Amino acid sequence: MIPILYQDKTLAVCLKPPGVLSQDGPGSALPALLREQLGSEIFPVHRLDREAGGVMVCAKTSRAAGTLSVAMAQGGFRKEYLCIIRGCPEEKEGTWKDLLLHDKTRNKSFVVQRMRGGVKEARLDYQVLAEKDGLSLVRVLLHTGRTHQIRVQFASRGFPLLGDGKYGGGSGGLALWSAFLAFPHPASGKPMSFQSPPEGGVWTAFTAIPPSSKAPRELSPSEAAGFADNILK
């Protein structure tokens, strides 16, 4: 059963479990699971790595999917993530810009030095929230949505995500979670915001992660405005 945070006639906001595809495809895929569970059409709007989990929005109509896709392309989505990395950057917060090339045959992205065919600019903001036993808990705000962006931008600087075997972080489950998602409703235009702190597994190493009092739910406008500063308070 996929946890549903909110749904109406046009969309469904849910928690994607790790190990489930965010797009239609072979094996366990979120759209197919939601179609069966909700009894409605489901149109994926954005992606989340298979090994990652957290908040996602899916449209129930093609029109809503188109509206949400346009909003995302125009910067109308805000997506924040939590991750655990090996090591810690010298600068505890900052902005990273890279050029990424995705190798589809290997399903792996690489940082490259010059723009050419297939290369795309990637940009994120990060903030180290806590450090423990050689690991760091980091909040990430994505400005672009490239394949494996968070994973490769950190790994290329010597800070692979915990459990990320593809980029040198070892095994045991990828420590990457979609913790906050904000977007305009495709019909009303109303701002919508949702949070979902990770729980259990590798995340238990950091006691600063909020308890059940901040359970997955829709946020009020004031809560959403303060999310960036208060998620771990």
The pLDDT assigned to 91 comes to 96
At residue 4, the pLDDT reads 97
For residue 162, pLDDT over 90 is answered with yes
CA–CA distances in Å: residue 189 to residues 77, 184, 202: 12, 5, 37
Quick one: average pLDDT of 1-13?
97
What DSSP letter does each residue of 189-229 carry, written as one string?
--EEEEE----SGGGGG-TTS--GGG-SEEPPHHHHHHHHH
Of 67, 124, 126, 122, the closest CA to residue 93 belongs to 126
pTM for the full model?
A: 0.87
Q: What percent of the chain has pLDDT over 90?
A: 75
When mean pLDDT is compared over 60-69, 138-147, 164-173, the highest value belongs to 60-69
Residue 233 has pLDDT above 60, yes or no: no
Question: Quick one: pLDDT at residue 221?
Answer: 58
pLDDT value of residue 230: 44
206 CB-near residues (< 8 Å, 6+ apart): 84, 129, 130, 132, 137
pLDDT tens by residue, 181-199: 999 999 999 999 999 989 8
Q: Has residue 207 got a pLDDT over 80?
A: no
Please state, in angstroms and rounded to a whole number, the distance separating the CA atoms of residues 99 and 111. 6
Domain of 173: which CATH number? 3.30.2350.10
- Other CB atoms within a 10 A radius of the CB of residue 131 amount to 14
pLDDT of residue 145: 87
pLDDT band at 229; cut points 50, 70, 90: very low
Count of structural domains, the chain: 1
Site of tokens 């394949």: 147
> What is the pLDDT confidence band of residue 224, given thresholds at 50, 70 and 90?
low
Indicate the range of 15-29, 116-130, 205-219 predicted with least confidence: 205-219
pLDDT at 16 over 50: yes
pLDDT score at 12: 98
* Element containing residue 76 per DSSP (H, E): none
Q: How far apart are the first and last CA of the chain?
A: 30
The pLDDT score that the predictor gives to residue 231 is 43
Distance of CA 36 to the CA centre of its chain: 24
pLDDT score of 216:
53
Range of the domain at 133: 4-230
Q: What is the pLDDT of residues 109-140, one digit of tens each?
A: 989 998 888 899 999 999 999 999 999 999 99
Confidence of residue 33 (pLDDT cuts 50, 70, 90): very high
